[in-house]
Amino acid sequence: MDDRQNDPKYDFKAPEENIRKWEPKKWEDQAFQGVSPFDFAMRQKNEEKKRKEREREAKARMYQYQAKGVANLAEENAKSVNAQYKASKDEARRSKEEATKVNMAASGLGVEHASRNADFEREKAWKEAKRAEEAARKDVNMAVAGFGVEQASRNADFSREKAWKDTKRAEEAARKDVNMAAAGFGVEQASRNADFEREKAWKEEQRKEREKQKEFDMARALF
């Protein structure tokens, strides 16, 4: 009897732990795989057992979650961390709201604001100088100014190009008046003329032979 009292098997257990858990047998995975009504009914019965077991385990976990208080030190530490994080977020939100109410023009932000004002004035002066330069540039007469050496160089280039174009134009006009038949192109034209005369004589000889063949009477010849 004393052994039973000291045996942890007989200690007090929660009601959900006293329930016998259903587990499928090793051979049931391979059994009832046929197409008969009995096999189908057994498969449905095993599926129903599995569903009820999952439902029982879910209810037991829900009961344990709702029944416990602060379970361990880790949960207490997590709550303290969450509280600190929430406090930091509230502080950041409060700082942001206060920053939206600050008048930047009145506070001036000290040295930084003075530096920005100096930069603004310097940039404003630079823009005014550029605007004045552009306005003065609009009044310049390009034809009178001439840009000095650059303009003189451009004028010289223009005159030289104009003279070259006039020379080319005169050469083309003179080339149109050349008589190609009279010029003869020297040796090449003489060679072409000789070829033409030789071909002309050969054609005349061929024409005369054909005329003689037409006058020949085959009936009189009779060999």
pLDDT for 170-208, tens place per residue?
Answer: 999 888 876 666 665 677 888 888 999 999 999 999 999
Please report the pLDDT score of residue 92 as a whole number: 92
Residues 6+ apart with CB under 8 A from 183: 189
Please report the pLDDT score of residue 69 as a whole number: 55
126 vs 77, higher pLDDT: 126
168, pLDDT greater than 90 = yes
Count Cα atoms within 13 angstroms, Cβ side, for 143: 0
119, pLDDT greater than 90 = yes
* Pairwise CA distance, residues 88 & 82, whole Å: 10
10 Å Cβ neighbour count for 46?
A: 17
- The pTM of the full predicted model, rounded to 2 decimals, is 0.25
pLDDT mean over 211-221 = 73
8 vs 174, higher pLDDT: 174
